[in-house]
Chains A and B, each alone.
Chain A
Amino acid sequence: MAGLFGILDVASRGMAVNQRGIQTAGHNIANAETPGYSRQRQVLAASAPLQNPNGHLGTGVEQLTIERASDAFVQAQLVKQGSQLASTEAQANALGLVQEVFNEQDSEGLSAVLSRLYDAFSDLASSQTPGAPVEREAVRAAATAAIDTLHARDTQLRDLQRSTDASVVALLPEINDLSQRIQSLNEEIARLEVTAPANDLRDQRDQLVRDLAERVDIATYEDARGRVVVTLGNGLPLVEGGFARSLVAVADPTNPFNPTTSQVRYRDGANDLDVTADLGGGRLGGLLRARDTVIAGAIRSLDTIAYNVAGTVNGVHNLGTGLNGTTGDFFAPLPAVEDAARDLTLDANILASADSIAAGLTTAPGDNTNALALASLRDASAPIFLPGDPPGPASGPTRSLLEHVAAVTSDVGQQTRTMELSRQQQGRVLEGLHDRRDEVSGVSIDEEVTNLIRLQAAFQANSRVVSVVDRLLQDVLELI
């Protein structure tokens, strides 16, 4: 009798295991489209046999655990590449907008307004009317147009910098929230895994880690209790042990641009550190690089154009004399290359009267000598002053201003192109990694349905064992 009941045990355990198998397949099918889900499978083994000198007797099946199909290498690569791509995307987006500021293919640009300033000087030189009153006004108008264009471009770039900074500030709460959620999942996983792997929670955590990596450059490893430790690119822990640290934005008083941008500070109980310069990857790193390198660089490039235009024009203008006898600068002198595009204005004398424009070396109304020299600046090459050069000598390449504008535009285009190509290339790498992940972890409906059929048959076979034992038991009972 005991033996027969033992067989019932075997069959019922088999049915229970098959039932769990069906549930697992159902769980997989239900989560086929759940982001970050890894398919799960039963790990089965024959249960411990009964010791018997005539041969150990099998006791049926046992479910050891339910494991999830995941590849730690693919996960690590997804974290790394996702971080890189997000950074590249943020920079490529910023560059795309920066290059529109310099784009002259479909609109009036810096090079066109500068050309017109030289045209105006040339018209002033070739005017046949004594004193050239009309041409003087035209010079002033062309210079004002050049100044306005530089100001407008500068404002566009600074607005772009400010909105990028706003994105940085808005991103930090998202990062802190993700750290918080990873930290609480850590605790739950550690608690649950005392018994068995917490597959679904691990999937969720992996997904959150990937989401976090898209936002900020991180590295991860698991501690002995299955809790994931998340550190920033510079090694500072973001999630470790019982609590998460936070990143906060603070206005940066040392920022050379106006309006000021924000610093990213790392805070835990004991530390309050500026980590702005350490964050390279993720959307945060990309936005910071866009703000502090890409856009800042573009603003400074614009400054070199403004400073050198003012410098070369003033250099010649100073040699001449206005119709009204005044001498001096044409543009108000600039102390430094930095912020030149923002601060460029006409000299007070020129603003007061167009007769102050030094067309000649004398006050004679037909003297066009200096206007000729001003007009010939169009093709004059000189070393370009770069940020930090004044009052020292210019350290830039020797070129004319129009060549400089073209070179700056070409440089912005080159940067944009390079970043755009990396974005495409990294996007493909990430697509490949997602394919790899699907290959290992993705749910195939065909496979799950096949499993269902298999398990259904196994369940039926087990129930057949029960009915056989049942008949045997009836036979035995009839003997009584």
Chain B
Amino acid sequence: MGIRITQSTLIRNALADVTRQRERLARTQEQASSGLRINRPSDDPVGVSGAMLLRAGIDATAQYGRNVSQGRARLAVTESALANAQDLFIRARELAIAGANGTQDATSRLAIAQEVEKLHDALVAEANTTYAGGHVFAGFASDTAPFVPSGGFVPGGPTAPTVAFAGDSNEAALQIDETVTVRVGLDGRRVFQGDADGDSVVDAGREDLFAVLSDLWTGLVNDDAAAVSATLPRLDTALTQLGTERTSVGAADAQLRDWEARLAERTVDLETRLSQVQDADVARVYSDLIRQETALQAGLQAMGRMVQPTLLDFLG
């Protein structure tokens, strides 16, 4: 006697097969509608952690991109302030050359001195430049203006204003990658007062820009051609000092620009990898879908014939 197959065996097995086919079809339909190969952690436990880390990486890269934009905006403001200051000193140098000329008299020198006063005021304004409400040359004390002039220009004395530094020498940094930070702050005391070490004395080879202008003014007001021409090499030093700082700002900006491009490339790369990990292969999903639908239809048709004839059908 062979294997006894009863009707209920056939029906139960057919039902189990059709149920399995439906399950498979449901999975494939889910992939087709979501476009994802991984719809839940158990679909690919290893892939899912990879996908999560890639998404976190894309998120972090976007954040670094925002930080770079912030940094570049601040550097642009800083650069423009330094460029304006440079222009001021080019004008101051022209005025000094004019003031040192022997053809000038006290009256004309006084007129030049008045322009120097304006230059001094403009320099204080540039040194107190703000971006987004923060003073870019103030270090961490960004809420207050770092350069505070006291006393005005009084030709009678003559007395020129002195400028005190109210900020600190911290140079703020930004995170632009996992382990990379870039300095976007400049020490205002070094830039405008030539004091990098914070000892309140102008360093060798540097100049206090406010003092140079004040001295130029004093020389002009005193109608002292020698004193005026003595400021010329100091004005040159001031211009070099501003130029050096401007170059370093430009270099930092160039670094950030390169980094922006690199981060954009990385985003594309991470997104490609994420897609490889979690996206469904559309062509394959659709061909699977058609194949599985056909198989299910065949299974259902077979089940329809399952109520097969028994011996009873053939007995009269």
List CB contacts (< 8 Å) of B209-256 with chain A. none
Number of B residues with CB within 8 Å of any CB on chain A: 66
Min Cβ gap B38→A in Å is 6
B196 at the interface (CB under 8 A from A): no
Chain B 139-159, CB within 8 Å of chain A: the 1/0 string? 111110000000000000000
Instruction: Tell me if A122 and B3 are in contact (CB < 8 A).
Output: no
Residue on B with the closest CB to A421?
A: B42
Our count of residue pairs bridging A and B at CB distance below 8 angstroms stands at: 200
A360 at the interface (CB under 8 A from B): yes
A5 to B18, CA, bound (A): 62
Instruction: Tell me if B140 and A364 are in contact (CB < 8 A).
Output: yes
Instruction: Tell me if A444 and B45 are in contact (CB < 8 A).
Output: no
B53 at the interface (CB under 8 A from A): yes
B284 at the interface (CB under 8 A from A): no
Q: Give the segment of A110-118, A268-276, A466-474 that binds chain B.
A: A110-118
Say whether chain A's binding surface is mostly helix, strand, loop, or mixed. helix
Number of A residues with CB within 8 Å of any CB on chain B: 68
Instruction: Tell me if B39 and A105 are in contact (CB < 8 A).
Output: yes
Given A128-B70, A372-B181, A379-B178, A416:B312 Cβ within 8 A: no
Instruction: Tell me if B40 and A103 are in contact (CB < 8 A).
Output: yes
A358 at the interface (CB under 8 A from B): no
Instruction: Tell me if A410 and B9 are in contact (CB < 8 A).
Output: no
Instruction: Tell me if B41 and A445 are in contact (CB < 8 A).
Output: no
Q: Give the segment of B92-100, B127-135, B262-270, B292-300 that binds chain A.
A: B127-135
Given A100-B40, A128-B74, A413:B60 Cβ within 8 A: no
Residues of A close to B204: CB separation below 8 A: none
Q: Give the segment of A147-155, A183-191, A303-311, A401-409 that binds chain B.
A: A401-409
List CB contacts (< 8 Å) of A103-134 with chain B. 103-106, 109, 111-112, 115-116, 118-119, 122-123, 125-131
Chain B 171-208, CB within 8 Å of chain A: the 1/0 string? 01111001101000100000000000000000000000
A32 to B8, CA, bound (A): 8
Residues of A close to B168: CB separation below 8 A: 364
Given A122-B67, A130-B142, A105:B131 Cβ within 8 A: no
List CB contacts (< 8 Å) of A70-95 with chain B. 95
List CB contacts (< 8 Å) of A321-337 with chain B. none
Given A106-B39, A372-B181, A410-B46, A125:B175 Cβ within 8 A: yes
Instruction: Tell me if A367 and B140 are in contact (CB < 8 A).
Output: yes
B29 at the interface (CB under 8 A from A): no
B121 at the interface (CB under 8 A from A): no
Instruction: Tell me if A375 and B56 are in contact (CB < 8 A).
Output: no
Q: Give the segment of A201-209, A217-225, A434-442 that binds chain B.
A: A434-442
Instruction: Tell me if A126 and B70 are in contact (CB < 8 A).
Output: yes
Min Cβ gap A31→B in Å is 11
A123 to B174, CA, bound (A): 10
Min Cβ gap B173→A in Å is 6
B12 at the interface (CB under 8 A from A): yes
Residue on B with the closest CB to A116?
A: B59
Given A410-B46, A442-B9, A105:B51 Cβ within 8 A: yes
Residues of A close to B179: CB separation below 8 A: 376, 379
- Can you give 13 contacting A-B residue pairs, CB < 8 Å? A99-B40, A104-B52, A116-B59, A126-B66, A126-B175, A128-B136, A366-B134, A366-B140, A379-B60, A412-B41, A413-B40, A416-B41, A438-B5
Q: Apart from A95-B42, A128-B132, A130-B135, what 11 extra A-B contacts exist at CB < 8 Å?
A: A118-B60, A119-B59, A366-B139, A406-B50, A406-B56, A413-B40, A413-B41, A435-B9, A438-B8, A445-B310, A445-B311
